[in-house]
Structure 1
Amino acid sequence: MAYFPAFQFRKRYYKGIIMSDQNSTILVGIDGGGTGCRVAIADADRNIIGTAKGGPANPTYTPQQARDNILAAIDAARLDAGLEQTAINSARAYVGLAGIRNDTDAEFIAEILPFAQARVVEDRATTVTGALAGGDGAVAAIGTGSFVARSKGGKTGYLGGWGFRLGDQASGAWLGRNLLERVILCAEGIEPHSDLTRETLARYDDDPHAIYEFGNAATPAEFGKLAPLVVDAANKGDPTATAMMRDGADYIVKALNTLGYRPDEPLCLTGGLGPHYTNFLQASFARQVMMPKGSALDGALLLASRMGDAP
Structure 2
Amino acid sequence: MVRSKAERYWVGVDGGGTKCKVVIMNDRLEVLANYISGPANPYQDLSLAINSISLGIEEAAKLAGLHNRQDKFIVGMGLAGVNVPRVFQLVDNWQNPYKSCHLTTDLHIACLGAHESDEGAVIVAGTGSCGYATSKNDSLLIGAHGFPAGDKGSGAWLGLKAVESVLLADNGLYPPTMLTELLFEQLQVTSCIEIVDCIQKANQNYYAQFAIQVFCAANKGDVAALKIVDDGAKYLSDVGFKLLDFGAKRLAMIGGVSQAMKKWMNQELIMEESEPLNSPEFGAVLFARNHEMTS
The two structures share one fold, judged by TM-score above 0.5 = yes
Query: What is the Cα deviation at residue 173 of structure 1?
Result: 0.8
SS at 1:93 equivalent: strand
How many residues align? The count is 289
Worse overlay, 275-284 or 102-111: 102-111
Q: Distance in 2 between matches of 1:192 and 1:204?
A: 23
Percent identity, please.
28
Worse overlay, 167-176 or 148-157: 148-157
Query: What is the Cα deviation at residue 256 of structure 1?
Result: 2.6
Cα distance change on mapping 1:134 and 1:309 into 2, 3 Å = closer
Aligned with residue 175 of structure 1, among 137, 158, 181? 158
Q: Distance in 1 between matches of 2:180 and 2:247?
A: 35
Cα distance change on mapping 1:119 and 1:264 into 2, 3 Å = closer
SS at 1:150 equivalent: strand
TM-score (norm 1): 0.83
Query: What is the Cα deviation at residue 50 of structure 1?
Result: 2.5
Q: Distance in 2 between matches of 1:134 and 1:291?
A: 14
Residue type of the alignment partner of 2:241: N
Give ranges in structure 1 of 5+ residues lacking alignment.
1-21
Worse overlay, 119-128 or 191-200: 191-200
SS at 2:291 equivalent: coil
Query: What is the Cα deviation at residue 224 of structure 1?
Result: 0.7
Q: Distance in 2 between matches of 1:59 and 1:43?
A: 28
Query: What is the Cα deviation at residue 201 of structure 1?
Result: 5.1
Conserved in 2, the CA contact under 8 Å of 1:136 and 1:151?
yes
Q: Which residue number in structure 2 is paired with residue 122 of structure 1?
A: 105
Give ranges in structure 2 of 5+ residues lacking alignment.
none
1:280 lines up with 2:264 in the alignment: yes
Tell me which stretches of 4 or more aligned residues in structure 1 moved more than 6 Å. none
Aligned with residue 37 of structure 1, among 20, 29, 34? 20
Q: Distance in 2 between matches of 1:232 and 1:135?
A: 37
Deviation string for 1:133-157 (max 9, x for gaps)? Answer: 2253331111111111223234331
1:114-263 matches, cutoff 5 A: 114-134=97-117, 136-200=119-183, 205-261=189-245
Q: Distance in 2 between matches of 1:47 and 1:244?
A: 43
Residue type of the alignment partner of 1:195: M
Worse overlay, 113-122 or 226-235: 113-122
Residue type of the alignment partner of 1:217: K
Aligned with residue 95 of structure 1, among 49, 52, 77? 77
Query: What is the Cα deviation at residue 281 of structure 1?
Result: 1.2
Conserved in 2, the CA contact under 8 Å of 1:196 and 1:230?
yes
Aligned with residue 60 of structure 2, among 59, 63, 77? 77
